[in-house]
Amino acid sequence: MKTRHVGPFEVSEIGLGCMSLSHAYGPPPPREQAERVLKGALDRGYSFFDTAAVYGLGHNERLIGEVLGDRRDEFVLASKCGMTDGETRDLNGAPERLKKTCDESLARLGVDVIDLYYLHRWDKRVPIEDSVGALADLVQAGKIRAIGLSEVSAATLRRAHAVHPIAALQTEYSPWTRNPEVAVLDACRELGVAFVAFSPVGRGFLAGGLRDLGKLQPGDFRAGMPRFIGEAFEANLKLLDAFTDLAGEAGCTPAQLCLAWLLQKDPIIVPIPGTTRPKHMSENAGASDVVLTTQVVERLEALVNARTVSGSRYAPAMQATVDTEELVLSEA
């Protein structure tokens, strides 16, 4: 796989988001299947693995540490803090909490240092300068190598970057979630910050794997997301056939179409699709070889965009935890 840069690191231009191996999209896969995804990803050329303390409340970090520990020198390891207090979910950006979480993550991962450590969400009760200052202390202590931020605005990125260089900003970006185009992508380019795109295939929707909400497993958090509810979901389904046809014309799968679109957007973008299936992991990696014509890109963007997609990306309670810009549509 071709490579890109995230801070001081050279990584595969498509990374692996590991969250779904522990929670969020229903029951996690069997251990043996998770191992095949993780080890197979290394063999397939992935060298950027993304986890977090909150994923399965430590389960995901332990999984990566146990499965990939003997191949640690083959990949860049990213994790996150600020959304957990040990065995509970808790948004808290207090410096002492972030440092405690880092020590716990190091132990679960079985490593002495984490390459890229994100503030998972900005706790607005704590100045961003204080939270990033704590992460800067962790860099100084040799426990992390670089600092990242997740789901923050361009203004917050600039405030944080003034305290300590930010290596990467992570937020949702795909053909059906275009909020980064408001301001934060420009800020990343200006400051030399890599942009890590999570949910790059629309939480699986644009890959075509979910056409019946009745098939959602217990614990799948998409069931509470506006785009996957009622009339909005039915309206979004009408986009899928044309999107799938366009992928066929481009000589790739729908998931690869999403990823190739992101890769061609800007060399600072590194998408990190997640999956529980080895087949899909390999399919996603294949997007690195897909080249889209200008015509295909134009048709994709006309088909799937903020005006054609129904429903917001988060329900109000979840939206309140993020700091990203909202895309405001002008009148036609």
By annotation, the residues acting in catalysis are 55
- Spatial separation of the C-alpha atoms in residues 46 and 261, rounded to whole Å: 19
DSSP line for 185-249:
HHHHHHHT-EEEEESTTTTTGGGT--S-GGGPPTTBGGGGSGGGSHHHHHHHHHHHHHHHHHHHH
- Amino acid identity of residue 253, one-letter, is T
Neighbours of 293 (CB within 10 A): 10
Residues in the chain: 332
Q: C-alpha distances in angstroms, 42 versus 8, 21, 219? A: 20, 16, 28
For residues 24 and 220, the answer to whether their CB atoms sit within 8 Å is: yes
- Amino acid identity of residue 178, one-letter, is R
For residues 169 and 325, the answer to whether their CB atoms sit within 8 Å is: no
The C-alpha angle 167, 170, 173, rounded to 5 degrees, equals 135
* Closest listed residue to residue 55, CA positions, set 13, 89, 103: 89
- Spatial separation of the C-alpha atoms in residues 66 and 18, rounded to whole Å: 14
